[in-house]
């Protein structure tokens, strides 16, 4: 006989919603607040197992906090703009809006089937004008502050998605969405000035060290890529070439200079007219950025020019080479082949001078560059200094002479947000014949996304083909004007959605400051690690901008972050292309939501990979049935009474309180739900062993089991709670059980110690300790020790009663 999960789950899901059980009183300050946030889903069609894992973990945390007296806010919404809707439109001839809304309806239903405790009254969807008008409003505020700007620059172009990508969206030269090889194009595009916040984004890590996975902070740190060094001017005649270096201490070792093929000085000196240089520049244009960075074989061309090294007035040759990129630093470098491996390879290939200027016992510059620290040599008045000290001293010297300055560079680039696609937020800009580029009047927002648009996927912004959209009048001067036809990167939508949840219906502002200042920062954020350098960086950036616009007060949006591990099958991530997907709905139909929830939490700690196993899910299903049967046994009428000793009862209660403690600790410390569930399983086993099922003790233990299991398997817990008459109207309003520290202690026992059969002493100790432990205690007992004169040959132990040690005499 199995319990009827299907009707039980439907019954309680309806009751929870009817009673508005999870709708948060956002203005109540009676209890401490807890904002539990999960990364909102993209409505792709249906939930995958990764979503289920994310949302089940979030739900348990929310429920656990609710039971511990917090006013919990646990909202959900839809990251509803994006490319797949457009691709579906092209493929299936369905409007992106319809496709998206249908998917949302289906997936909302799936979330409800999982019994997740969301506050559905605050649901948002980013493709609604009520939401995206605030994207536009914020864009205008940023434009006014100079934080949104337009420029021509080489950008990453995905030939398959037919749109540009931000740097964060290119992984190893490939599109993050479709994996195609990314090309470079020169386009005029909109950018957000995230670089202005580079230092603060790094510095903010101090606030996150305790609550975020170290791995994510390291990824962000590397992405921001701060380097400290100097800019130094080398002169060529009356012209100056400025270079960036992180090693000013090696300045005396600079034996040549390299310009990137795009460097403006090339034209200035007329070098582009030389055929071999022309040829070289043409060839390097064919390479991707990635090829240029990784290229093993260094290539270059001599310019015929010489520059003067400012520290020693040495004349050094100037080369052009494509391992130097224009966008980084100044696009020109001084080359120190003795101490930079790329320069070393270049010098070897073209037979250029190599001069050692940093000495260390590890260096061997015949074989390769020495890139580490050491003592400065061949460096004039600076010789003898440590390289560390030398950096400072050389910078000071350069600054005094006006030849250079200290300089900090970041790898981080401004965030490119223009997309040549339809299904996104229109960028609220008009191009007026007279006034030029101006933002749309705030009063005219939202700039609605027109619905009647031909989506072709050709790479032209689809809005370009909608004259009613493009043609407009300038609100300043009345002249005719044209609208911007690009839409925003959808990562703009997700950069502040968690603020909108706090005040989703506000039609005067994106959100009310007072409400957001109470609820932010988010106490716990849960989502995938794939967002470490995209969403999580953008959201932090937005938060700081919003703060500087006076819209909120906190510095960081998320206090704690949990990145859940992947769900795998056969050792690899579940994915459509691999065909190793387990559909959540099928599992729910077979075993119920409680089983899939319990399984997902039990199979692995949240941050670790979870390998799907049909057998293990069977095990969880059987476990829930075991709990169900315990109720049938304990609460059956006309139960035959078997009396048990007080010791037996105490033993069961002790196990209960130990379990409460362990489960609480596991959840509190690191959300170790897997071990928490294992402890509850042990308690259930112990209860089954209890001889007097049906007595008050067994009932009191069972009641607690129902409460303990409720965050993990809420439906069965509700049903059992109703059946056994627990007092709360819903188990989800119950208090988390407390343990009694006195009941946890194992009672002590008196163990008689004999040496060769003679009583020599007694040891008072904890119950059920091992033979090894008791032996150690005996050997440490000063009195008994004296009786052990020879070699121990044997010992006999009767647990909790007697230890007889046989000694050779
Ligand atoms: C001289 C030198 C000597 C350098 C030495 C290194 C070691 P990070 O740490 O990434 O900031 N560099 C500067 N601009 C460049 C560009 N646009 N393209 C390619 N390389 C560039 O690296 C900074 C170092 O990378 C700089 O310090 C420069 O080489 C090179 F023993 O200058 B170094
Ligand atoms: Zn105008």
For the stretch 240-267, pLDDT in tens is 999 999 999 999 999 999 999 999 999 9
> Ligand 1: distance of its center to the CA of 253 in Å?
14
Spatial distance between the Cα atoms of 274 and 303, rounded to a whole number of angstroms: 9
> Ligand 1: distance of its center to the CA of 545 in Å?
31
Q: State the ligand closest to the CA atom of 343.
A: 1
58's tokens: 């979030």
* 706 pLDDT more than 70: yes
717's tokens: 């817990």
Strand (E) or helix (H) holding 768? none
Spatial distance between the Cα atoms of 281 and 261, rounded to a whole number of angstroms: 6
666 falls within a domain: no
Q: Around Cβ 180, how many Cβ atoms within 10 Å?
A: 14
From the CB of 331, is ligand 1 less than 6 Å away? yes
481 falls within a domain: yes
Domain boundary among 375, 409, 443: 409
Higher pLDDT, 790 or 416: 416
Residues 233 and 359 in one domain: yes
Please give the DSSP secondary-structure letter assigned to residue 579.
Answer: T
> Ligand 1: distance of its center to the CA of 389 in Å?
19
What is the phi/psi pair of residue 352, to 5°?
Answer: -105, 160
Helix (H, G, I), strand (E, B) or coil at 105: helix
From the CB of 243, is ligand 1 less than 6 Å away? no
From the CB of 176, is ligand 1 less than 6 Å away? no
What percent of the chain clears pLDDT 70, i.e. is strictly above it? 100
CATH number at residue 325: 3.90.740.10
> Ligand 2: distance of its center to the CA of 484 in Å?
14
Residues 302 and 280 in one domain: yes
From the CB of 142, is ligand 1 less than 6 Å away? no
Ligand 1 atom at minimum distance from 371 CA: 31
Provide mean pLDDT across the span 313-338: 95
1 falls within a domain: no
Q: Are 226 and 546 in contact (CB under 8 A)?
A: no
Spatial distance between the Cα atoms of 332 and 262, rounded to a whole number of angstroms: 10
CA angle at 86 for the pair 82 and 88, rounded to the nearest 5°: 115
From the CB of 100, is ligand 1 less than 6 Å away? no
- Ligand 1, atom 32: closest residue by C-alpha: 245
Distance of CA 86 to the CA centre of its chain: 27
Provide mean pLDDT across the span 397-412: 95
Q: Are 75 and 68 in contact (CB under 8 A)?
A: no
Higher pLDDT, 664 or 154: 664
From the CB of 258, is ligand 1 less than 6 Å away? no
Domain boundary among 376, 409, 442: 409
Residues 330 and 348 in one domain: yes
655 falls within a domain: no
Distance of CA 463 to the CA centre of its chain: 34
Residues 404 and 450 in one domain: no
From the CB of 369, is ligand 1 less than 6 Å away? no
Kindly list the strands in the beta sheet with 429-432, ordered across the sheet, starting from the edge strand earlier in the chain: 436-439, 429-432, 480-483, 471-473
- Ligand 1, atom 33: closest residue by C-alpha: 245
188's tokens: 């005029």
> Ligand 1: distance of its center to the CA of 180 in Å?
30
Confidence (pLDDT) at 264: 94
* 612 pLDDT more than 90: yes
457's tokens: 């996927």
Provide mean pLDDT across the span 689-708: 96
Q: How confident is the model at residue 767 (pLDDT cuts 50, 70, 90)?
A: confident
Q: State the ligand closest to the CA atom of 441.
A: 2
Q: Which residue has the tokens 């050792």?
A: 571
Residues 271 and 367 in one domain: yes
Confidence (pLDDT) at 380: 95
Residues 423 and 352 in one domain: no
> Ligand 2: distance of its center to the CA of 445 in Å?
17
Provide mean pLDDT across the span 593-603: 98
The pLDDT tens digits for 478-526 are: 999 999 999 999 999 999 999 999 999 999 999 999 999 999 999 999 9
Provide mean pLDDT across the span 158-185: 86
* β-strand pairing of 572-573 with 758-766: unpaired
From the CB of 44, is ligand 1 less than 6 Å away? no
Q: Average pLDDT over the chain, rounded to whole?
A: 94
Helix (H, G, I), strand (E, B) or coil at 751: strand
Segments of 32-182 assigned E as strands: 33-38, 71-73, 77-78, 124-125, 148-158, 163-165, 170-171, 174-175
The pLDDT tens digits for 13-30 are: 999 999 999 999 999 999
From the CB of 117, is ligand 1 less than 6 Å away? no
How many structural domains comprise the chain? Answer: 3
776 falls within a domain: yes
759's tokens: 């009583």
Ligand 1 atom at minimum distance from 358 CA: 31
Confidence (pLDDT) at 577: 79
Q: How confident is the model at residue 87 (pLDDT cuts 50, 70, 90)?
A: confident
From the CB of 518, is ligand 1 less than 6 Å away? no
Confidence (pLDDT) at 554: 97
Nearest Cα to 76, choosing from 127, 135, 120? 120
Distance of CA 749 to the CA centre of its chain: 51
Provide mean pLDDT across the span 533-542: 96
Is 0.85 topped by the overall pTM? yes
Residue range(s) defining the domain that contains residue 760: 748-807
What is the phi/psi pair of residue 363, to 5°?
Answer: -80, 145
784 falls within a domain: yes
- Residue 117 makes CB contacts below 8 A (sequence gap 6+) with 16, 21, 22, 59, 62, 63, 66, 74, 714, 732
Residues 348 and 438 in one domain: no
Q: Which residue has the tokens 């390289």?
A: 387
Instruction: Rounding to the nearest 10 degrees, give the CA dihedral for residues 538, 544, 549, 550.
Output: 140
Residues 258 and 332 in one domain: yes
Helix (H, G, I), strand (E, B) or coil at 646: helix
Among 77-81, 282-286, 562-566, 592-596, where is mean pLDDT lowest? 282-286
Distance of CA 524 to the CA centre of its chain: 12
* 538 pLDDT more than 90: yes
From the CB of 409, is ligand 1 less than 6 Å away? yes
> Ligand 2: distance of its center to the CA of 143 in Å?
17
288 falls within a domain: yes
Q: How confident is the model at residue 295 (pLDDT cuts 50, 70, 90)?
A: low
Q: State the ligand closest to the CA atom of 476.
A: 2
- Ligand 1, atom 2: closest residue by C-alpha: 247
- Determine the residue of 221, 230, 246 to mutate for testing ligand 1's pocket, defined as the one with the most ligand atoms within 8 A of the Cβ atom: 246
> Ligand 2: distance of its center to the CA of 463 in Å?
21
> Ligand 2: distance of its center to the CA of 432 in Å?
5
Nearest Cα to 76, choosing from 629, 391, 642, 504? 504
- Determine the residue of 229, 245, 291, 344 to mutate for testing ligand 1's pocket, defined as the one with the most ligand atoms within 8 A of the Cβ atom: 245
Confidence (pLDDT) at 549: 98
Confidence (pLDDT) at 673: 98
> Ligand 1: distance of its center to the CA of 372 in Å?
14
Q: Are 446 and 440 in contact (CB under 8 A)?
A: no
Q: How confident is the model at residue 324 (pLDDT cuts 50, 70, 90)?
A: very high
Provide mean pLDDT across the span 91-105: 94
665's tokens: 């600790």
* 286 pLDDT more than 90: no
Q: CA Rg, the chain, in Å?
A: 35
Ligand 1 atom at minimum distance from 246 CA: 27
450's tokens: 């027109």
Domain boundary among 384, 409, 434: 409
621 falls within a domain: no
- Ligand 1, atom 26: closest residue by C-alpha: 245
The pLDDT tens digits for 431-475 are: 999 999 999 999 999 999 999 998 877 778 999 999 999 999 999
**b/e code 319-349 from CB counts within 10 Å (16+ = b):** bbbbbbebebbbbbbbbbbbbbebbbbbbee
Spatial distance between the Cα atoms of 731 and 715, rounded to a whole number of angstroms: 9
Residues 316 and 392 in one domain: yes
Residues 319 and 182 in one domain: no
Kindly list the strands in the beta sheet with 561-564, ordered across the sheet, starting from the edge strand earlier in the chain: 71-73, 33-38, 524-528, 561-564
- Residue 633 makes CB contacts below 8 A (sequence gap 6+) with 693, 694
Residues 253 and 402 in one domain: yes
Spatial distance between the Cα atoms of 178 and 204, rounded to a whole number of angstroms: 32
Ligand 1 atom at minimum distance from 329 CA: 14
Q: How far apart are the first and last CA of the chain?
A: 65
**b/e code 549-581 from CB counts within 10 Å (16+ = b):** eebbebebbbbbbbbbbbbbbeeeebeeeeeeb
Spatial distance between the Cα atoms of 407 and 426, rounded to a whole number of angstroms: 38
Maximum CA extent, the chain: 115
- Residue 470 makes CB contacts below 8 A (sequence gap 6+) with 463, 464, 482, 483, 485
- Ligand 1, atom 25: closest residue by C-alpha: 245
705's tokens: 């089991």
Residues 302 and 371 in one domain: yes
């Amino acid at each position: 006989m199995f319990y009827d999960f299907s009707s039980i789950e439907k019954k309680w899901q309806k009751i929870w919603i009817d009673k508005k059980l999870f709708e948060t009183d956002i203005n109540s300050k009676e209890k401490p607040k807890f904002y539990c946030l999960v990364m909102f889903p993209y409505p792709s069609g249906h939930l995958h197992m990764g979503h289920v894992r994310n949302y089940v973990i979030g739900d348990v945390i929310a429920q656990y906090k609710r039971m511990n007296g917090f006013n919990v806010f646990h909202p959900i919404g839809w990251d509803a703009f994006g490319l797949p809707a457009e691709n579906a439109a092209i493929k299936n001839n369905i409007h992106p809006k319809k496709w998206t809304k249908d998917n949302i309806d289906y997936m909302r239903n799936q979330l409800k089937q999982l019994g997740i405790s969301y506050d559905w009254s605050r649901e948002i969807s980013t493709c609604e004008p009520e939401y995206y008008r605030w994207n536009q409003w914020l864009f205008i505020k940023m434009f006014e502050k100079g934080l949104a700007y337009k420029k021509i620059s080489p950008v990453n172009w995905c030939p398959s998605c037919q749109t540009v990508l931000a740097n964060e969206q290119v992984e190893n030269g490939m599109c993050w969405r479709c994996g195609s090889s990314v090309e470079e194009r020169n386009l005029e595009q909109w950018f957000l000035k995230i670089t202005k916040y580079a230092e603060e984004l790094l510095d903010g890590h101090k606030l996150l060290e305790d609550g975020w996975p170290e791995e994510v902070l390291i990824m962000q740190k590397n992405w921001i890529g701060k380097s400290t060094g100097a800019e130094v001017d080398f002169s060529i005649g009356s012209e100056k070439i400025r270079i960036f270096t992180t090693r000013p201490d090696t300045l005396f070792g600079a034996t040549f200079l390299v310009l990137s093929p795009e460097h403006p000085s090339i034209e200035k000196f007329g070098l582009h007219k030389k055929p071999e240089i022309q040829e070289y520049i043409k060839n390097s244009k064919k390479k991707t950025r990635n090829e240029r960075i990784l290229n093993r074989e260094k290539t270059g061309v001599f310019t015929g020019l010489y520059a003067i090294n400012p520290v020693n007035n040495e004349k050094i040759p100037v080369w052009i080479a494509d391992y130097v990129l224009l966008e980084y630093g100044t696009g020109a470098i001084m080359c120190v082949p003795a101490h930079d491996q790329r320069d070393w390879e270049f010098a070897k290939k073209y037979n250029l001078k190599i001069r050692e200027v940093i000495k260390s016992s590890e260096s061997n510059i015949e074989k390769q560059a020495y890139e580490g620290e050491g003592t400065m040599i061949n460096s004039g008045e600076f010789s003898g200094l440590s390289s560390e000290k030398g950096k400072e001293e050389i910078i000071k010297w350069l600054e005094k002479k006006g030849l250079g300055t200290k300089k900090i560079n970041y790898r981080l680039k401004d965030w490119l947000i223009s997309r040549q696609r339809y299904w996104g937020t229109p960028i609220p800009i008009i191009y007026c014949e007279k006034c030029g580029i101006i933002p749309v009047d705030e009063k005219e927002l939202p700039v609605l996304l027109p619905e009647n648009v031909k989506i072709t996927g050709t790479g032209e912004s689809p809005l370009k083909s909608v004259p009613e959209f493009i043609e407009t009048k300038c609100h300043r001067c009345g002249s005719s004007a044209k609208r911007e036809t690009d839409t925003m990167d959808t990562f703009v939508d997700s950069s502040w959605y968690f603020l909108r949840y706090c005040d989703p219906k506000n039609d005067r502002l994106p959100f009310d400051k007072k409400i957001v200042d109470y609820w932010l920062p988010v106490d716990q954020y849960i989502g995938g690690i794939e967002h470490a350098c995209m969403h999580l960086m953008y959201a932090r950036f937005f938060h700081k901008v919003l703060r500087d616009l006076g819209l909120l007060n906190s510095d960081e949006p998320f206090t704690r972050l949990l990145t859940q591990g992947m769900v795998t099958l056969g050792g690899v991530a579940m994915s459509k292309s691999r065909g190793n997907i387990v559909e959540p709905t099928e599992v729910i139909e077979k075993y119920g939501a409680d089983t899939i929830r319990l399984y997902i939490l039990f199979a692995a700690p949240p941050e670790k990979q979870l390998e799907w196993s049909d057998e293990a899910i069977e095990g969880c299903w059987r476990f829930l049935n075991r709990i169900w049967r315990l109720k049938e046994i304990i609460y059956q009428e006309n139960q035959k009474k078997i009396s048990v000793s007080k010791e037996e009862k105490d033993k069961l209660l002790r196990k209960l309180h130990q379990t409460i403690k362990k489960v609480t600790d596991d959840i509190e410390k690191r959300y170790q739900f897997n071990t928490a569930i294992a402890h509850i399983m042990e308690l259930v086993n112990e209860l089954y062993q209890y001889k007097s099922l049906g007595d008050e003790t067994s009932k009191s233990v069972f009641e607690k089991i129902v409460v303990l299991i409720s965050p993990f398997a809420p439906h069965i817990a509700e049903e059992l709670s109703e059946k056994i008459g627990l007092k709360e109207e819903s188990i989800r309003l119950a208090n988390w059980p407390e343990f009694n520290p006195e009941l946890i202690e194992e009672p002590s026992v008196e163990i008689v110690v004999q040496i060769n059969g003679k009583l020599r002493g007694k040891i008072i100790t904890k119950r059920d300790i091992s033979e090894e432990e008791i032996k150690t205690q005996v050997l440490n007992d000063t009195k008994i020790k004296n009786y052990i004169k020879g070699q121990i040959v044997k010992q006999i132990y009767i647990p909790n009663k007697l230890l007889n040690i046989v000694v050779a005499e």
